[in-house]
Every structure is written in C-alpha cells, then in structure tokens.
C-alpha cells in the first residue's frame, strides 16, 4: 500500500467517525425533544461530505 492509499484509508476512518458523531448528535437532539437539526450536526455532515470527496479524489488519482 502506497502513501496515497494510506491517506485515503485515514480519510475513510475520519469519515466514519464524523458519521458516528452526527448520529450521536441527532439522537441527543431527538431525545431532548428538538424538532430541528443541530447546527453543529449540519457542519459535521458538510465536513463528512468534503472528506468523502477528498478520499474519492485520492482513490481516482491512484488508479
């Protein structure tokens, strides 16, 4: 596995962690009776999408 593949794997791990944090945040909001998406969860989702795009770009470039 070359260095680019290693970075892509690290990004996949970060993406997974961001999903977990988003889900925890949404669950907490629901449990507290909130009917709106927490602003921080929105930013986490945006960050996850950005990380996913970066991971895909690295995988495409290493093919």
**pTM for this one?**
0.86
Instruction: Pick 62 or 6 by higher pLDDT.
Output: 6
Cα angle 60, 15, 55; round to 5: 10
The DSSP line for 14-34 is HHHHHHHHHHHHHHHHHHTT-
Structure confidence by residue, pLDDT tens digits, 18-51: 999 999 999 999 999 999 999 999 999 999 999 9
pLDDT of residue 4: 92
pLDDT of residue 29: 96
Instruction: Pick 59 or 13 by higher pLDDT.
Output: 13
Question: Is 1 a residue whose pLDDT tops 80?
Answer: no
The token pair that represents 20 in the structure block = 């977990």
């Amino acid at each position: 596995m070359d260095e680019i593949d290693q970075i892509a794997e690290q990004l996949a791990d970060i993406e997974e962690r961001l999903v977990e944090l988003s889900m925890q945040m949404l669950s907490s909001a629901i449990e507290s009776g909130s009917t709106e998406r927490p602003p921080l969860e929105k930013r986490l989702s945006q960050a996850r999408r950005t990380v996913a795009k970066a991971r895909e770009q690295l995988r495409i470039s290493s093919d």
